[in-house]
Amino acid sequence: MIEVINISKTLPNGKKLLDNISFKVKKGEFVGILGASGAGKTLTLRSLNGLLKPDSGSVIFKNELGEKVNICTLSNKKLRKVRQKIGVIFQGYHLVQRLSVLENVMIGRLGSITTFRSIFYGFTDAEAHEAMGALEKVNMEHLANNKVSSLSGGEKQRVGIARAIFQKPNLLLADEPISNLDPKNAKLIMKLIKPLSEEIPVIGVFHQPEMTAKYCTRVIAIKEGKIIYDGKPNLSEDQLSEIYGEELSTLALQAK
Amino acid sequence: MSDFKIDLPSAKFKNKATLTSIVILLVTFICSYIKFNPLVIFTEFHFLQEFFVEMFPPNYGLFYENEGVGQSILQTLSMAFLGTIFGGFIGFILSFFAANNIFQIPFLRNFSKSFLAMIRVIPSLVVILIFVIAVGPGSFAGVLTLIITTIGVFGKLFTEVLENAEEAPSESIYCAGASHLQVIRYSIIPQVLPAFISNLLYVFDLNMRAAIGLGIFGGGGIGYKLYMAMRVLHYQDATALITMIVFMLLIVENTSNFLRGKLLGEKL
Ligand SMILES: Nc1ncnc2c1ncn2[C@@H]1O[C@H](COP(=O)(O)OP(=O)(O)O)[C@@H](O)[C@H]1O
Ligand SMILES: [Mg+2]
């Protein structure tokens, strides 16, 4: 479970990037965040794992010991401990191109093994086998030894998901995980993410309202740093034009 | 008539003519200042001719008669190799302390950067003179000099490589709770490894040339052999050594280029 309470972020020039954002996400929920470009979706997501420090407000999350902590106030070691329990997948995949698929999956566990061991020995055989299990879940086990640079976009995102699975997180964040993919691969990725939300809360930023309507259990819409909608994933035409404004027409074109 | 000003061809010609005259005057003045007379090459041509005659034919018999030649070639290769390995390793370590995106203490980072810049500006011939006096002539002084120059060159090259490493994969590993050292090990190093090896090969190539030059100044190896042959007026021996050196450098350069091409081609 994660609870965001009144987070705000203002630029020195007074522009409000995030304006009193609050929401709470529980296990079993797959929340889709919608909004036009520049609305503040990425910044919201980045506040959830401490990549961004809001000026005010708090993000409450249970750490590995089951204690409630405020991610906004953590730093260094404590922040790393919490991040072990938060999986993240990205629009641009953000994998290490020169490492193999399997190594990229195992990297997800770095937070929970000692720096000494990870540098002077590396991962264990048991971890490699477990990582293969994660790759099997996304049907990528046959490419385990390939360099990531040789994969297609859809395959790279599946590696990203396998890494998140292997990390054993208590929360999964995804920032536009399907925006670089063709419709077929986008669907495939959504189908892989969906079952994860039965185990842990999943929060994803999406640019495809038809996808969030189909796969998410709840939609939060952000406009100019404010939440303007939080509820059922099916949105009416009017609600969409409220969320996206002028951008709606390009969005409709993409969907076709 | 428009007010728009164009560069008139006549004005352009005047500019070019002025500039050319200035350059010619300057060159003439500087030549006379250091008493450099290019025409001497033609007026005293017989001098060079006699010298060339004495240099040919090259005495390739030298390689059979004098086993020290083979040894000195090996010595030069070893000097370049050790200079590259040790200097490369130290430069590699230092470059992490000089890279903006990796080392987060600005004061110490600027210190590392300045240190690398400083050892780069000292000419290697000055360094070898110091070491020859400090530790005596020979390959030890040569290797120490190569290590110093390699640290400078490699440190700069590699700092830039590190600073060009992609940020995104590192951030995604931080997101999994990894420490700085883990990010360096699992994101930065895999990214820069091909450039690291490629730069090492390139620096080895440079160090081969430098090792020969340093030999003349007391650094040992085949450079020293060449210097001695010239000094005792064994010009035919010298020619044999020179062809040998050129041949060796060609092999090293081509191998280095070939390996680097393969390495960077594989990068995708
Ligand atoms: N580091 C930053 N400094 C200043 N402005 C920023 C910074 N990061 C993001 N912004 C601005 O904040 C707004 C929201 O950004 P973001 O959350 O990335 O939008 P999106 O909803 O498209 O993901 C944008 O207008 C962006 O220009
Ligand atoms: Mg974004």
- Consecutive 10-residue averages of pLDDT for chain A (256 residues): 92 91 92 92 94 92 83 89 93 91 94 92 92 92 90 92 94 93 90 92 93 93 92 87 78 59
Based on the fold, state whether residues B148 and B97 are members of the same structural domain: yes
pLDDT at res. B145: 93
Please tell me what DSSP assigns to residue A51. S
Query: Which has the minimum average pLDDT: B42-51, B88-97, B100-109?
Result: B42-51
- What is the separation of C-alpha A226 from the centre of its chain, rounded to a whole number of angstroms? 20
Residue B216 scores a pLDDT above 90 = no
**pLDDT of B2:** 63
> Given the CA of residue A175, which atom of ligand 1 is nearest to it?
23
Distance (Å, whole) CA A71 – CA B59 = 79
Burial letters A154-187, b for 16+ CB under 10 A, else e: bbbbbbbbbbbbbbbbbbbbbbbbbebbeeebbe
This prediction's pTM: 0.82
User: Are residues B153 and B99 both part of a single domain?
Assistant: yes
Interface predicted TM-score of the whole assembly (ipTM), two decimals: 0.91
**Taking 80 as the threshold, does the pLDDT of residue B16 lie above it?**
yes
What pLDDT is recorded for position B179? 93
Say if ligand 1 is within 6 A of residue A221 CB. Answer: no
- Is residue B268 predicted with pLDDT exceeding 50? no
Is there a domain that residue B1 lies in? no
**What angle do helix axes B68-98 and B221-231 make, rounded to 10 degrees?**
130
Residue B23 has pLDDT above 60, yes or no: yes
pLDDT band at B1 (very low <50, low <70, confident <90, very high): low
Does the pLDDT of residue B104 top 90, yes or no? no
Mean pLDDT over B72-90 rounds to 92
Whether the per-residue pLDDT at B191 is higher than 70: the answer is yes
Is residue B184 located within the same domain as residue B246?
Answer: yes
Q: Are residues B15 and B87 in the same domain?
A: no
Residues, chain A, total?
256
Question: Regarding beta strands A171-175 and A86-90, do their DSSP bridges make them parallel or antiparallel, or are they unpaired?
Answer: parallel
Q: E strands along chain B, which residues? A: none
- Residue B140 in domain: yes
Which atom of ligand 1 is found nearest the CA of A44? 17
CA of A151 to the centre of ligand 2 (A): 24
Residues B96, B175, single domain; the answer is yes
| Banded model confidence at residue B138, pLDDT cuts 50, 70, 90 | confident
Are B127 and B241 contained in the same domain? yes
Cα angle B209-B215-B221, degrees, rounded to a multiple of 5: 90
The answer on pLDDT for B147 being more than 90 is yes
Cβ–Cβ < 8 Å for B155, B133:
no
Residue nearest to atom 14 of ligand 1 (CA): A40
B155 pLDDT tier (thresholds 50, 70, 90): very high
Which residue is closest in CA terms to ligand 1's atom 26?
Answer: A38
Report the C-alpha gap between B115 and A88 in whole angstroms: 40
d(CA B41, CA B48): 8
Distance CA(B15)–CA(B38), nearest Å, equals 28
Query: For chain B, what is the mean pLDDT?
Result: 87
- Domain interval for residue B31: 10-41
Residues B14 and B116 in one domain: no
- Please tell me the predicted confidence (pLDDT) of residue B47: 77
Q: Does A11 contact ligand 1 (Cβ within 6 A)?
A: yes
- Let me know if residue B232 belongs to a domain: yes
Residue B264 reports pLDDT greater than 80: no
The verdict on a CB contact (< 8 Å) between A110 and B186 is yes
State the pLDDT at residue A160. 94
B17 with B104, same domain? no
Choose the CATH number for A29-50+77-255 among 3.40.50.300, 3.20.20.480, 3.20.20.140, 3.40.640.10: 3.40.50.300
Question: Is the residue at B253 inside a domain?
Answer: yes
Residues B108 and B208 in one domain: yes
